[in-house]
Structure 1
Amino acid sequence: MRINICGVEIDKYSFAEVTSQIVNHAISRSQPEYVVTPNAMHILTLQKDAYFREIYRQAFLVVPDGVSLLWAAKFLQTPLNGRVNGTDLFEKLCAVAAEKGLKIFLLGGRPGAADQAKQKLKARHPNLLIVGTYCPPYGFENQPEELAAINSNIKAASPDILFVGLGAPKQEKWIAQNYQELEVPISIGIGVSFELVADMVTRAPIWMQKSGLEWLFRLIVEPSRLWKRYILGNPTFIWLVLKQRFQTLMLN
C-alpha cells in the first residue's frame, strides 16, 4: 500500500520489511528493479520534473528517507510505518549481503568515497563481497564512451545489488536509463551515503536524526552547498503539505 504526499506515492513498509523485500528480490535474481529514497527535496523536484515523476511511478519501492515525510504523512492523517533512511538501509543491506553471500557494487560518490566506504564495510563484514567500485568523472552523463565503460564494468562484475551515489535526480535518472541493460536485480540511489560511511562527511548525532534535525546539522556542516536546499526548500515543502491537507478537508 502507498500513501500520497504532495502527489508522490510512498510505500508504507517498515525498515525491516523494506530490507526483507530487497534481499528476497536480490536472492531470486528475477527481473531487474530499482528503489528510490525520497526526502522533502525530492518531493519538490518531482513537482516540476515529469520524467523524474515517471521514474518514481515505476520504482519497485519508494521509501521515506526524510523525517519530514513522516511528519507530513501524520499531519495528512495517513501515517507511515517509520523512516527508511538511505544510509541506514545501505549499511543494513551490506550486513545482510555478507551473511547471504550477495555481491554488491558501489558507483558514484566524490573521489575516493566508494573505496573508503568499501574498506570500512569490509572491516565490519569480512565476508562482504564488494565486486566493484567506480567514481565516474564530472559530466560523465554526457560522455557516451564513459557511460558504455561504466555499464561494461558493472555487467562484468554481475552484482546482486547496485548502490548508486550520484545525488538526486541524477542517480535516479541514470538508474532508470540503465537498469534493464545492466540486469542487476536491485539498484538503489543513496545520495551521500558513501561519504557518510567513509567518514568523509560527518553524520548528525542520533538524537538529531530521530528528532528530524539532521537537515540542520548538514546545513551547519556544509552551508555553501546546502543553504538553498533547506532555507528555501523547507518552507515550500511545508506549504505544499498544508495545501494538500486543506484540499482534502474541502473534499470531505
Structure 2
Amino acid sequence: MDPFTERQVVAWVAAALDQGRGGHIITPNIDICRAVSKDPALGKLVAAAEVVVADGMPLVWASRLLGTPVPERVTGADLIWSLSAMAATAGRPVYLLGGPPGVAAKAAGELAGRCPGLEVCGVDAPPYGFEEDARELGRVRARLVAAGPSVVFVGLGFPRQDRLIAALRADLPRAWFVGCGSAIAFAAGAVPRAPVWMRRVGAEWLFRLASEPGRLARRYLVDDVPFAIRLLARSLLVRR
C-alpha cells in the first residue's frame, strides 16, 4: 500500500498528467486482499499498478498494528469526485466505463453538476462478460480511444476492471485509469452510500450489508469478516 492521503493521490495524478505519464490506481479492500491471498496472479496485477491505496479501515488498522501506518482510507467512491474536480480545474476530460445501463450517464450528469467545467468525454455500459467477446471488446476499446480521456473510471469490480485496464493501458499511455468498483453507481445515486460517520469508524460495510443483504451477506459475513479478523490478529502478532 502507498502511504498516500486522498489529496496526495490527486496531486500525484495531476503531476503525472502534466508530465505526460499515465498510470493505474487500485484501491484494495478486504475482499480484494482475500482474493489476492489465494491467487498469485492477482497479486501481480495489483503490484503492477502505479498507485495502490487502502480502501478499507481494517487495512488502515492492520498497517498501524504493523508499525507501518498508511495515513487514511482512500476509496474509489471518493476519488471519483476528487479526481473529477482536479480534471475540471485542469481542463482534462474524463470517461466513465461500467455500471448498469443508464447509470454511467446519470453519474456523468452528477459529476458535471458538482464539478463546474468538467468534460465527460464519454460513457459506456457494456454488457456483462463483454471482455470475453473480441468484437465487443474491440468496440469498447475503439470508443475509449476515440474519446481520448485523461482519466478513465472503470467500475466493473475487481479483478475484471483491473484486468481490463491492464489490457487497455497501451492504447492510452498518457491516461490514468482508476479501478473504482461501485463508485459510478454511488455517484449516480443508484446505490446509497453510508453516512460519513459510518465510513470513518469502519462500519460502511454494515450499511451496505443492510442495503443489499442478498448480494453481500455471504461475501461479508462468511468470507471477509473472518479474513479481516485473521489479518488484524496476525498483524498484532508480527508487531509483537
> Normalized against structure 1, the TM-score is what?
0.91
Task: Report the Cα distance in structure 1 between the residues aligned to 2:38 and 2:139, rounded to whole angstroms.
Answer: 32
Partner SS for 2:177: strand
Gaps of 5+ in 1: 1-9
In the alignment, which residue of structure 1 is the partner of 2:167? 177
| Residue pair 1:162, 1:184 contacting (<8 A) in 2 also | no
Q: Is the deviation greater in 204-213 or in 68-77?
A: 68-77
2:16 maps to: 25
Q: Distance between the aligned counterparts of 2:121 and 2:227, measured in 1?
A: 41
Unpaired runs of at least 5, structure 2: none
Q: 1:176 and 1:189, CA in 2 relative to 1: closer, same or farther beyond 3 A?
A: same
Post-superposition CA distance 1:186-226 (Å, at most 9, x none): 10100001111111111101111111100000000000111
Residue 85 of structure 1 deviates from its aligned partner by: 1.6
C-alpha RMSD of the superposition: 1.3
- 2:183 aligned partner, one-letter code: S
**Which residue is 1:241 aligned to?**
232
Partner of 1:147: 137
Structure 1 runs (4+) deviating above 3 angstroms are none
2:34 is the alignment partner of 1:44: yes
Alignment partner of 1:11 is 2:2: yes
Shift of 1:247: 4.3
SS in 1 for 2:15: helix
1:244 to partner: Cα distance: 4.3
Which residue does the alignment assign to 2:124? 134
Does structure 1 conserve the Cα–Cα contact (< 8 Å) formed by 2:24 and 2:176? yes
CA distance in 2, matches of 1:114, 1:151: 17
Counterpart CA distance in 1 for 2:181 and 2:18 is 24
Which residue number corresponds to residue 111 of structure 1? 101
Q: Secondary structure at the match of 1:69?
A: helix
Q: Which amino acid aligns with 2:80?
A: F
Question: Which residue identity is paired with 1:107?
Answer: L
User: How many residue pairs were aligned?
Assistant: 239
Letter in 2 for 1:120: E
Aligned 1:65-144 pairs, distance under 5 A: 65-144=55-134
- The separation in 2 between residues aligned to 1:241 and 1:210, in whole angstroms, is 18
Identity %: 36
Alignment check: 8 A CA contact 1:27 1:160 kept: no
Letter in 1 for 2:64: K
* Equivalent residues of 1:34, 1:59 under 8 A apart: yes
TM-score, scaled relative to structure 2: 0.95
Measure how far apart 1:240 and its partner are.
3.1
Are 1:59 and 2:71 an aligned pair? no
Q: Distance in 2 between the 1:227 and 1:206 partners?
A: 22
Q: Match for 2:37: what amino acid? A: Q
Following TM superposition, by how much is the alpha carbon of 1:162 offset from its aligned partner in structure 2, in angstroms?
Answer: 0.7
Matches of 2:147 and 2:219, distance apart in 1: 36
1:16 CA drift (Å): 1.2
SS in 2 for 1:111: coil
Q: Which moved more, 1:238-247 or 1:114-123?
A: 238-247
